[in-house]
Amino acid sequence: MQQTIPEVILCKYGEIVLKGANRNAFEIRLVKEIRRRLYPYGPYRVYAAQSIIFAEPLSERCDMEGAYEAAKRVFGIIGVTRAAVCEKNMEAILACAREFLPEKLAGVKTFKVEARRSDKSFPLTSPEISAQVGGVILSCVRGIRVNVREPEVTVTVEIRDSKAFLRAGQEDGAGGLPLATAGKGLLLLSGGIDSPVAGLMMAKRGMEIEALHFDSFPYTSERAKEKVMQLAEEMTAYCSRLYVHVISLTHIQEELRDKCEEDYFTLLLRIFMMRLAEKCAKGYHCGALVTGESLGQVASQTLAAIGVTDSVVNLPVFRPLIGMDKKEIVREAVKYGTFETSILPYEDCCTVFTPRHPKTQPKIEAVMAQLARLDVEGLIEEAYGTMTTECKLIYEGYTLR
């Protein structure tokens, strides 16, 4: 039978409830972000009430499945569910339970009912509401039984100020804090597995992300750059939009090859990357750099090497993957949907002129001696002048309001 019960999407937020006087600012930002994400799926009324964000469809053409999936990828939300809406009386609640819940509980073996009364004037207590709704479920869902300790699904009845809501279970949201509530950082985005995950982990903490990619054409192919742009597009499923700045390192790498000792190539290239990233970050009002480095993973990620590269910049450098192993990083890449693109076999700039025996325990004095062979400032200005910018959006045609 076709359901006629109206539904809404309920988004439960987590850490925001711990905020003090500025909690309202976080809620406003989160409502705006959900409104942005749901825009392609039809007109929705999105609003916050009593620590829940409601997404109410305003048209029959609204795509509830698409909107529901989009809501699960909004940072700041810890739980998402579709709920039936009915009048705030037991007759309407029980009728809603008979129509809405059997499909949601099909194949489920055990359940329990929890009732919550935000409106304490409701004439029945929470246990009484739970008992009556549980009785309806037992009468109309075949093979199901009550298990209050370890239910397969928890059915929740919420009595709020204006309406009652029924839902069966809840899926996890993306967690964290709303985007753009913790400043802006510049992600050094390669074509590998690590850096997209690092950027999304910082976005989960509320950081607005821009990206910088280093290109080495013609030593790297146009397909390598297209791969990075595809990764950026995939990241927008969680961060909505991503500006990607691209700088050519070709001349710098040729100068390193011609004038410096081979063992220092990787470390010297990393120094140029950090200097250029800092210059780009300051130009686009980013307060930090973000990298996908994991301690000891490659030659440029030893403790000594990281110390050298950090010494050439004044901005803080966030490394959210620093203590993770590759298996853990891959798991996150799969979760965020970037893994399959990351493993496409297109080279990046770090594979150009790779030394046979890179320095893993560099001394800062020796590194500075190598840099003294180069026109460092001139090379940085020249490379920065090659910068181009593209903007990847989760969809076109929407202005955040």
Task: Answer whether residue 1 shows pLDDT above 60.
Answer: no
The overall longest dimension of the chain from CA atoms, in Å, is 84
Residues 213 and 352 in one domain: yes
Instruction: Determine the average pLDDT of the residues in 104-114.
Output: 96
Q: What is the mean pLDDT of residues 139-153?
A: 96
What does the angle CA 138 – CA 140 – CA 145 come to, to the nearest 5 degrees?
Answer: 25
Does 58 score more than 90 pLDDT?
yes
Mean predicted confidence (pLDDT) in 43-72 = 93
Tell how many helices (H) and how many strands (E) occur in the chain: 13, 15
Q: How far apart are CA 323 and CA 30, in angstroms?
A: 30
pLDDT band at 400, cuts 50/70/90?
Answer: very low
DSSP assignments along 67-111, one per residue? HHHHHTT-TTEEEEEEEEEE-SSHHHHHHHHHHHHHHHTTT--EE
Which of the four pLDDT bands, split at 50, 70 and 90, describes residue 349?
Answer: low
* Strand runs labelled E in 123-207: 145-146, 153-159, 164-168, 171-172, 184-188
How far, in Å, CA of 267 to CA of 299, rounded? Answer: 8
Round to whole Å and give the CA distance between 188 and 289.
7
Q: Please give the pLDDT value at position 20.
A: 83
Same domain, 137 and 237: no
pLDDT tens string 159-174: 988 899 999 999 999 9
Residue 363 and residue 291 share a domain: yes
Is residue 128 in some structural domain?
Answer: yes
Interval 339-362 mean pLDDT = 79
Question: What average pLDDT does range 297-303 have in this prediction?
Answer: 85
> Residue 2 pLDDT more than 90?
no
Residue 401 has pLDDT above 70, yes or no: no
Domain boundary among 122, 138, 172: 172
Choose the final residue of a domain: 118, 138, 172.
172
CB contact at 8 A, 265 and 300 = no
Region 369-391 average pLDDT? 96
Structure confidence at residue 395 as a pLDDT band (50, 70, 90) = low
User: Does the residue 68 lie in any domain?
Assistant: yes
The structural domain count of the chain equals 2
pLDDT at 194: 96
Under 8 Å between Cβ of 183 and 278 = no
| 47 beta partners | 54
Global pTM value: 0.90
Kindly report the number of other CB atoms within 10 A of residue 400's CB atom. Answer: 11
Domain carrying residue 112? 7-172
Q: Domain containing 137 — which CATH number?
A: 3.30.2130.30
Q: Are 318 and 280 in a shared domain? A: yes
State the pLDDT at residue 288. Answer: 98
Alpha-carbon span 88 to 161, nearest angstrom: 9
Kindly state the average pLDDT of the residues 20-30. 91
Note whether residue 401 is domain-resident.
no
Q: Are 168 and 190 contained in the same domain?
A: no
Least confident span in 90-99, 117-126, 350-359: 350-359
For the segment 272-296, the average pLDDT, to the nearest whole number, is: 97
Tell whether 318 is covered by a domain.
yes
Domain termination site, one of 125, 149, 172: 172
Interacting residues of 20 by C-beta distance below 8 A, sequence separation 6+: none
Average pLDDT of span 59-79: 95
Same domain, 264 and 375: yes
* Structural domain includes residue 127: yes
Do 199 and 339 lie in a common domain? yes
Cα–Cα distance, 300 to 308 (Å, whole number): 10
* 218 cis-preceded (ω within 30 degrees of 0): yes
Q: How far apart are alpha carbons 134 and 260 in whole angstroms?
A: 76
Mean pLDDT of the chain: 92
DSSP secondary structure string, 334-351? HHHT-HHHHTSS---GGG
pLDDT of amino acid 350: 65
Model confidence pLDDT, tens digit, residues 176-220: 999 999 999 999 999 899 999 999 999 999 999 999 999 998 888
Q: Are residues 248 and 159 in the same domain?
A: no
pLDDT of residue 372: 95
Residue 352: pLDDT band by 50, 70, 90 thresholds? low
pLDDT at 245 over 90: yes
CA–CA gap between residue 396 and residue 375 (Å, rounded): 43
Mean pLDDT for 286-295 is 96
380 pairs with which residues across the strands? none
Mean pLDDT score, 45-69: 93
Domain co-membership, 168 together with 189:
no
302 lies in the same domain as 360: yes
Are 66 and 99 in the same domain?
A: yes
Q: What percent of the chain has pLDDT over 90?
A: 80
In a domain, 220, yes or no: yes
Residue 353 has pLDDT above 80, yes or no: no
In a domain, 398, yes or no: no
The pLDDT value given to residue 368:
93
Q: Is 119 part of any domain?
A: yes
CATH number of 304's domain: 3.40.50.620
Mean pLDDT on 394-398: 54
pLDDT digits (tens, 9 = 90+) for 381-392: 999 999 999 998
Residues in contact with 177: Cβ distance below 8 Å, sequence separation at least 6, in sequence order: 15, 16, 26, 75, 76, 204, 205, 206
* 146 and 240 inside one domain: no
In this predicted structure, the answer to whether residue 51 has a pLDDT above a threshold of 90 is no
